[in-house]
Amino acid sequence: FSCRFSRPLMVYPPPPAKGGISVTNEDLHCLNDGEFLNDVILDFYLKYLVLEKLRKEDAQRIHVFSSFFYKRLNQRERRNLPDTTNLPIQKRKHNRVKTWTRHVDLFQKDFIFVPINESAHWYLAVICFPGLEGPVLEPNPLYQGPLPPSTDPADPSSEENIPDHCRPLSPDGDGLDGSSGQSSPGLHRISVCYGSGNRDDAYTFSDDQSSCQDECSEDGALAEDSAPSDSATASRLNLCKQPCILIMDSLRGPARSTVVKTLREYLEVEWEVRKSTQRSFGKDVMKGSSPRVPQQDNFSDCGVYVLQYVESFFENPIPSFHLPMNLSDWFPQQRMKTKREEIRELILKIQAQQELDKEAEPEPPEAPPSSSEEPEIEETPGGSTGGALHLPVSP
């Protein structure tokens, strides 16, 4: 029974594609109600959406790390290595993952997704506009209000005026892009990932939002976001893009300021390594913020919510990155009741299709007599090697 339970149901993407993810019955069990989603399910679903649900131009605007990225970045060293003992801790951390971005320039991306798992709880960090040095304002095409004298009287709702980062990041977009494409049956478009960190050293949020809501406190704690953004969008003359790190957590509690600090330090070293110059990503440049997001009503759906946060990020994009922001009505809670079953049905559908494909394959020729030489094995890179997935976002 145990062998049957751990035997792969299917590999996605199937050979000869590299980096295929094996999904077993044991992984499928994680989709039962009350079970925690594991990294295999999250990885599979993410890869499926990246490969089959995202346009290439969208995929080039985003980078998604696997769960192993943050876990490796923040991993405690077992012993001091002779060649690294004199390095600052930020550079020692960066060294652990320095090869993960050798084929990608993070500062050319609009959004970087870092799924994190700590104490058996999934949540999401989104690094927004890391290449910008400060806030950038753009005309709001949905603005409803008096135009200042200097404003161009041209129709502000013209589709051509909509900033790229406000468009749905999906192949058959709906909402602001005005397209009439039909949603694909079954699963909606999504993007996902996961990671690991340390819960014990997080700060709690302050409930006092009377001043300086957009700023992090001197000790690095995050500002709690309570101002509604959806209702205020039409009243904003300009939309804002600014460097920031958003923490989306379905069990709202600690401020995760240590996570934000770790990611800021990583960006500083990554910039120095890639650009051969120094740049600060401190709290004055890269703000930390925790939007209000839909909350889970049990203790097991955190991974499912991480998936939905990213899905909503693409399908119902944040129009402006003024801080703070309120996304508590981003998607209906009822949506979460069916997501596990949707993913299960997708896995079983792919499995059935792969079985049919195998049956349709011609019989392989007889193998030649075995030789004493070792067969060549082609190594396929896995998610833990740093081959991060590219996903969509700003011009």
Active-site residue set = 121, 249, 302
Question: Which distant-in-sequence residues (6+ apart) come within 8 Å of 352 by Cβ?
Answer: none
In eight-state DSSP terms, residue 4 is H
H runs (alpha helix) in the chain:
2-6, 25-29, 39-52, 56-59, 67-73, 89-97, 257-275, 302-315, 336-360
Take residue 361 and report the two structure tokens written for it.
């394959």
β-pair partners for 24? 8
Take residue 145 and report the two structure tokens written for it.
């209000």
From 128, 280, 262, 122, select the one nearest 201 (Cα to Cα).
Answer: 262
Radius of gyration of the chain (CA): 23
201/50 Cα distance (integer angstroms): 33
128/142 Cα distance (integer angstroms): 22
